Amino acid sequence: MSVDARDTARPAPAEGDAPTWPAAFAERYRATGYWSGETFGEMLRTRAALHPDRIAVVDPAGTGRRWTYAELDARADRLAAGLRADGVRRGDRVVVQLPNVAEFFETVFALFRIGALPVFALPAHRDTEISYFCTFTEAVAYVVADVHEGYDYRELATRVRAQAPTLRHVYVVGDPGEHTALAGVPVPMDTAPHMSGNGPAQDPAPAEAGPAPHDLAFLQLSGGSTGVPKLIPRTHDDYLYSVRASAEICAVDEHGVYLVVLPAAHNFPLSSPGSLGTLAVGGRVVLCPSPDPDTAFPLIEREGVTLTGVVPPLALVWTEAARATTYDLGSLKSLLVGGAKLSETAARRVRPALGCTLQQVFGMAEGLVNYTRLDDDEETVVTTQGRPISPDDEIRIVDDEDRDVEPGTTGHLLTRGPYTIRGYWRAPEHNRRSFTEDGFYRTGDLVRVTGTGHLVVEGRAKDQINRGGEKIAAEEVENVILGHPAVHDVSVVPVPDDFLGERTCAYVILRAGAALRAPALRRFVRERGLAAFKVPDLVEFVDAFPHTGVGKVSKKDLRVTAATSHHETT
Ligand code: AMP
Ligand code: DBH
């Protein structure tokens, strides 16, 4: 079926939510075959038809569940029918905040089939972030777990519901409390018959046709550098290309077993090559309820895990734990490490400790992902952050005036390509700053390119803290702290940290006569309902900030101060 034929059969989603690729680029990406004209819903359908009985998802929690491709496919259809009956429509937004449980895949594939857009929240997000996602995206539904790691998401949902007028449904995995159980979403009678068999379900009725491949599939989150997180609109075509190409680069095939160690909704474990890359080639996805070696190592042995992705601090913990472990990690072929810079020292430890290949991955939810390749020499693997997925990923390294720097020199990384967005969702003003006029994304990373085309991350120009792979926009935390009555001004900067790479330090100027101690300020941030990883690790009270020549607060100088001064533990 041609893309055009589909277009006339259904209404297009709201125009203008996000800039897209100019027609000439889109044509080229289709002609080269990067954009294959398939949706995620169709991808799963195809896999389920090819090998219905192969295991797709393993959720070891509780008594353990193993869903075959046919089962995942049928579950996605059944839930899609139920959600449709509840009024969830193509183009609607649904905030999904689930831990690493099998229902994550049931939910997102159901939404993919409807053409409703999951908004991928992280389990760590709290009132501030979730209320923002729900109101800004005008979400119609919110999907949560009941209780996870001692936190009751149903109570969060109750509070968020009171704030977000568009939110009609809260679906809960587990005990729903006052909300609706995801497992109890009723299946309308007329769709039930084809859901009951083991085989793939029939095509849905034309009136409820799903999305086109060039439609948005979901909204991913950006770590960002602004007061509120930015939403990243990814299409079926572009994302499916990036996950398939990633699977190829990481040599994942139907025998691949991927362990989801990081939160399942994060772009790295979702797509690099992640769960979706693994499902796209018929492999097996194993959910890891917690990233510690005591949980992960037994699963690696039992399930014969062949690859997984972790952030640098976790890579350190794992290499340390591997020395003493009694579990057999022999099935592990490669460990992907990314999200933050991996030191060369840490990189050198991976192979000896874990007996597997290291693949560094430097990626971003906005698109561009770089991998060291399996046939790269050891020096390249331990000293670079890889090279782009696609021959059509365009890379520019520029100075502050957007002029190309000399080859091999460090500068700002700009990129454009077949799976890098052309703009954030509903953010026209921000887009003018974050993208060049000819559509390059300003990554905010300072990078140099080696003679072999590998990228080395040398620093960051964006106002962000990278806390072991968890990104914190300084402005978001500053805005919350400014809400404290005793605070006159605040500046949040990174402090180097041996384990996390960076931690956050809030420099605070108090109002004249005001008294405030660090613990009280940290409690204030937490109580405002910000994710715990955004609560400043350190708080320093000062009388003034260093200023730049034009009178702006000099974060550069503050960073140096933060790096060189002795901090009291707060
Ligand atoms: P986000 O845009 O929130 O998806 O975060 C992506 C950012 O994470 C990149 O722009 C980098 O700043 C950082 N990042 C990801 N992987 C690496 C890596 N391997 N080394 C250094 N920084 C990384
Ligand atoms: O940090 C990231 O966002 C990231 C890291 C590695 C990412 O999005 C990815 C790989 O796809």
* 374 CB neighbour count, 10 Å cutoff: 13
Ligand 2: does its nearest atom lie under 6 Å from the Cβ of 372? no
For residue 443, the ligand 1 atom closest to its alpha carbon is 10
Nearest atom in ligand 1 to the alpha carbon of residue 464 is: 12
**502 CB less than 6 Å from ligand 1?**
no
Contacts of 523-530 with CB under 8 Å at 24 or more apart are 524/480, 524/481, 524/484, 525/477, 525/480, 525/481, 528/127, 528/128, 528/480, 528/483, 529/126, 529/127, 529/128, 529/129, 529/131, 530/126, 530/128, 530/129, 530/476, 530/477, 530/480
Query: Which of 150, 183, 211 delimits the end of a domain?
Result: 211
Residue from 272, 385, 413 to probe ligand 2 pocket by mutation (most atoms less than 8 Å from CB): 272
Structural domain containing residue 498:
464-569
The two structure tokens encoding residue 361 = 């991955």
Q: Is the pLDDT reported for residue 5 higher than 60? A: no
The residues near 271 (Cβ < 8 Å, ≥ 6 apart) are 239, 242, 243, 246, 277, 369
DSSP class of residue 207 equals G
Q: Is residue 360 in a domain?
A: no
- Which phi and psi angles does 150 have, rounded to 5°? 80, 0
Whole-number pLDDT of residue 192: 52
Q: Categorize the per-residue pLDDT at 566 as very low, low, confident or very high, splitting at 50, 70 and 90.
A: confident
Ligand 2 atom with least separation from CA of 271: 11
pLDDT in tens, 272-288: 999 999 999 999 999 99
Instruction: Indicate whether residue 484 lines ligand 1 (CB < 6 A).
Output: no
Q: What is the DSSP letter of 246?
A: H
Kindly state the average pLDDT of the residues 110-117.
98
Cβ of 341 less than 6 Å from ligand 1: yes
**Is 327 a member of any domain?**
no
Q: Is the peptide bond before 273 cis (omega within 30 degrees of 0)?
A: yes
Distances in Å between the alpha carbon of 523 and those of 87, 229, 518, 568?
40, 22, 9, 17
Give the residue, out of 369, 457, 471, with the most ligand 2 atoms within 8 A of its beta carbon, to mutate for a pocket test.
369
CA–CA distance, 88 with 85 (Å, rounded to integer): 7
Compute CA 548 distance to the chain's CA centroid, rounded to the nearest angstrom. Answer: 34
Picking from 312, 309, 247, 229, the residue whose alpha carbon sits closest to that of residue 283 is 247
Atom of ligand 2 nearest to the CA of 223: 3
Q: How many domains does the chain have?
A: 2
Q: Is the CB of 211 under 6 A from ligand 2?
A: no
In three-state form (DSSP H/G/I as H, E/B as E, the rest C), the secondary structure along 248-293 is HHCCCCCCCEEEECCCCCCHHHHHCCHHHHHHHCCCEEEECCCCCH
381-394 per-position pLDDT tens digit:
999 999 999 999 99
Least reliable range by pLDDT among 13-27, 90-104, 167-181, 404-418: 13-27
Distance 478 CA to ligand 1 centre (A): 21
The residue whose C-alpha atom lies closest to atom 1 belonging to ligand 2 is 339
In-domain check, residue 116: yes
Say if residue 77's pLDDT is above 60.
yes
User: Mean pLDDT over residues 128-140, rounded?
Assistant: 98
In short, whether 223's Cβ falls inside 6 Å of ligand 1 is yes
When pLDDT is averaged across residues 186-202 and rounded to a whole number, the result is 57
Residue 310 lies in a domain: no
Q: What are the C-alpha distances in Å from 464 to residues 164, 459, 461, 495?
A: 28, 11, 8, 12
Region 158-187 average pLDDT: 97
**Proportion of the chain above pLDDT 90, given as a percent:** 88
Average pLDDT over residues 213-225: 95
Q: How far is the CA of 187 from the centre of ligand 1 (A)?
A: 41
For 239, the enclosing helix (H) or strand (E) is helix 236-249
Q: Please, are residues 475 and 482 in contact by the beta-carbon 8 Å criterion?
A: no
Q: What is the 3-state secondary structure (H, E, C) of 485-552?
A: CCEEEEEEEEEEECCCEEEEEEEEEECCCCCCCHHHHHHHHHHCCCCHHHCCCEEEECCCCCECCCCC
**What is the whole-number distance in angstroms between the Cα of residue 268 and the centre of ligand 2?**
4
What is the average pLDDT across 175-189? 93
pLDDT at 559: 92
User: What's residue 549's pLDDT?
Assistant: 84
Please enumerate in sequence order all residues whose Cβ is within 8 A of that of 217, keeping only pairs 6 or more positions apart, or say none. Answer: 39, 40, 112, 117, 211, 234, 235, 236, 239
Residue 386 included in any domain:
no
Q: Which of 419, 414, 501, 438 is nearest to 464 (CA)?
A: 501
- The vertex-314 CA angle with 295 and 288, nearest 5°, equals 30
State in Å: Cα 264 to ligand 2 middle: 12
DSSP state of 404: B
Is ligand 2 within 6 A of the CB of residue 271? yes
Residue 183 lies in a domain: yes
Q: State yes or no: pLDDT of 203 exceeds 90.
A: no
The number of the ligand 2 atom at minimal distance from the alpha carbon of 340 is 1
Minimum mean pLDDT among 387-391, 474-478, 506-510, 548-552: which range? Answer: 548-552
The per-residue pLDDT for 16 is 74
pLDDT for the residue numbered 12 = 44
Mean pLDDT of 146-173: 98
366 C-alpha vs ligand 2 centroid, how far in Å? 9
The residue behind tokens 């040398």 is: 458
Average pLDDT over residues 487-502: 97
Lowest mean pLDDT among 128-132, 225-229, 442-446, 480-484: 225-229
Q: Quick one: pLDDT at residue 567?
A: 82
State the CATH number of the domain containing residue 84.
3.40.50.980
pLDDT at 189: 75
Q: Which residue, chain included where needed, has tokens 């890359």?
A: 277
pLDDT surpassing 60 at residue 451: yes
Give a yes or no: residue 506 inside a domain: yes
- Please tell me if the CB atom of residue 501 comes closer than 6 angstroms to any atom of ligand 1: no
CA 163 – ligand 2 centroid, Å? 31
Nearest atom in ligand 1 to 360's CA:
19
**CA 364–ligand 1 middle distance (angstroms):** 5
Lowest mean pLDDT among 9-13, 43-47, 151-155: 9-13
Which phi and psi angles does 444 have, rounded to 5°? 80, 0
Phi-psi region of 284 (alpha: psi -120 to 50; beta: other; left: phi over 0): beta
pLDDT category, 270, cuts 50, 70, 90? very high
* pLDDT surpassing 60 at residue 397: yes
Which CATH number goes with the domain that contains 513?
Answer: 3.30.300.30
Cα 339 to middle of ligand 1, angstroms: 5
Q: How far apart are CA 198 and CA 77, in angstroms?
A: 12
Ligand nearest to the CA of 362: 1
Pairing of strands 441-449, 455-460: antiparallel
β-strand pairing of 470-473 with 487-497: unpaired
Ligand nearest to the backbone CA of 455: 1
**In terms of Cα–Cα distance, which of 231, 216, 234 is closest to 420?**
234
Residue nearest to atom 3 of ligand 2 (CA): 364
Decide if pLDDT at 11 tops 90: no
Inform me whether the pLDDT recorded for 295 exceeds 90. yes
Average pLDDT of the chain is 94
Gap between the Cα atoms of 50 and 385, Å rounded: 36
Percent of the chain with pLDDT over 70: 94
497 falls within a domain: yes
409 CB neighbour count, 10 Å cutoff:
12
Of the candidates 152, 160, 149, the one whose C-alpha atom is nearest the C-alpha of residue 127 is 160
Q: What would you report as the CA-atom Rg of the chain, rounded to the nearest whole angstrom?
A: 23
Q: How confident is the model at residue 191 (pLDDT cuts 50, 70, 90)?
A: low
Nearest ligand 1 atom to the CA of 268 is 4
Domain's final residue, options 189, 211, 233: 211
Q: Region 287-309: what's the mean pLDDT?
A: 98
Nearest residue by C-alpha to atom 11 in ligand 2: 268
- Select from 221, 266, 343, 364 the residue to mutate for testing ligand 1; criterion: most ligand atoms less than 8 Å from CB: 364
Report the C-alpha gap between 160 and 265 in whole angstroms: 20
Give the whole-angstrom CA distance, residue 309 versus residue 138: 32
End residue of a domain, out of 211, 232, 250: 211
Question: Ligand 1 mean position to 387 CA, how many Å?
Answer: 14
- 345-372 mean pLDDT: 98
Ligand 1 pocket: which of 219, 226, 341 to mutate (most atoms within 8 A of CB)? 341
Ligand lying nearest the CA atom of residue 262: 2
Q: Measured in angstroms, how far is the CA atom of residue 186 from the centroid of ligand 1?
A: 41
- pLDDT tens by residue, 20-50: 999 999 999 999 999 999 999 999 999 999 9
361 C-alpha to ligand 2 centroid (Å): 7
